């Protein structure tokens, strides 16, 4: 094979969230339609074939077979802090679909991501519950600082992760309010949990009276900057953080960021063993297909 697949990027263990977001922005601007950009709360990675673009040269992670195995492990949840979690598979699939929609994606990369999605699905098939996800861990952290049952909890964000936060808070008996840049979307989601939906500006006004605040936003929550102390604990699983830096500093131990959630833990051995066998088999399948094309 004259050309090899490669992956360039950084993870939470190497670069803080703010730097990963800068890397992702750089990759979005400079990457061509023949690449796939995977940007999650834990990692930002650019996948391609052949020549490495200049924007990724100082971020090369793996190439050749190692790059193939890495993507399959990511899709299977083996590289996640919460081993086997579902969100990363959705993110791999969405990154693939977005790249493929442009119609310029290298056929070899197209096949690799098809196989990665299939690997992630097969690895998770028939599994038992693997423990709490990011949202559950964030809400558990809030619960550890202030009882939530029967008390108001504000969730900022009405997307997939905002919904997960709201679900986790409601399961712990909290009275859920959802704030979003789109108040109508917030109201629709809040109705599922018997709560109310408001705008982000209205949500900021509710922060001081909340038992806890859980945040999953795609951009900064500027309305928080003007709030005065005292403030409740805030768990922010946005990447980068949506909570202004000056407010985070004031909270001291009352703030949890997404990078704080990526702290080890014992992975489930049965899932790991089965998933690693699937990854090994699918990697061999792909490398055999690639060799046959050369």
- Residues labelled as active-site residues: 41
Where is 180: in which H helix or E strand? Answer: strand 175-180
Where is 291: in which H helix or E strand? Answer: helix 269-293
**Strand 234-236 and strand 255-257: pairing?**
parallel
Where is 198: in which H helix or E strand? Answer: strand 196-199
Distances (CA, A) of 49 to 63, 104, 173, 290: 9, 13, 50, 12
Joined tokens for residue 6: 């490669």
Residue whose C-alpha is closest to residue 265's, from 96, 107, 132: 132
Verify cis geometry, omega within 30 degrees of 0, for the bond prior to 230.
yes
Rounded to 5 degrees, what are φ and ψ at 133? -90, -170
């Amino acid at each position: 094979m004259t050309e090899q697949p490669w992956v360039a990027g950084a993870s939470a263990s190497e670069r803080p969230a703010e730097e990963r977001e800068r890397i992702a922005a750089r990759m979005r601007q400079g990457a061509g339609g023949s690449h796939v950009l995977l940007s999650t709360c834990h990692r930002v990675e650019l996948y391609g074939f052949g020549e490495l673009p200049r924007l990724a040269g100082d971020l090369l992670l793996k190439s050749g077979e190692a790059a193939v195995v890495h993507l399959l492990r990511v899709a299977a949840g083996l590289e996640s802090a919460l081993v086997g979690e579902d969100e990363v598979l959705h993110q791999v699939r969405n990154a693939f679909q977005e790249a493929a929609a442009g119609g310029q994606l290298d056929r070899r990369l197209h096949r690799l991501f098809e196989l990665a999605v299939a690997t992630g699905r097969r690895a998770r098939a028939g599994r038992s519950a693997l423990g709490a996800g990011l949202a559950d861990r964030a809400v558990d952290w809030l619960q550890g600082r202030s009882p939530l049952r029967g008390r108001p909890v504000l969730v900022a964000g009405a997307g997939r992760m905002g919904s997960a936060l709201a679900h986790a808070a409601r399961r712990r008996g909290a009275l859920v309010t959802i704030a979003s840049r789109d108040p109508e979307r917030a109201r629709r989601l809040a109705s599922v949990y018997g709560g109310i939906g408001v705008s982000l500006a209205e949500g900021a006004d509710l922060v001081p009276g909340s038992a806890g605040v859980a945040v999953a936003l795609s951009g900064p929550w500027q309305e928080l900057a003007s709030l005065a102390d005292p403030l409740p604990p805030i768990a922010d699983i946005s990447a980068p953080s949506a909570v202004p830096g000056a407010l985070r500093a004031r909270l001291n131990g009352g703030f949890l960021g997404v990078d704080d959630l990526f702290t080890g833990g014992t992975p489930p051995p049965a899932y790991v063993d089965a998933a690693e066998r699937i990854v090994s088999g699918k990697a061999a399948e792909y490398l055999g297909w690639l060799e046959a094309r050369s």
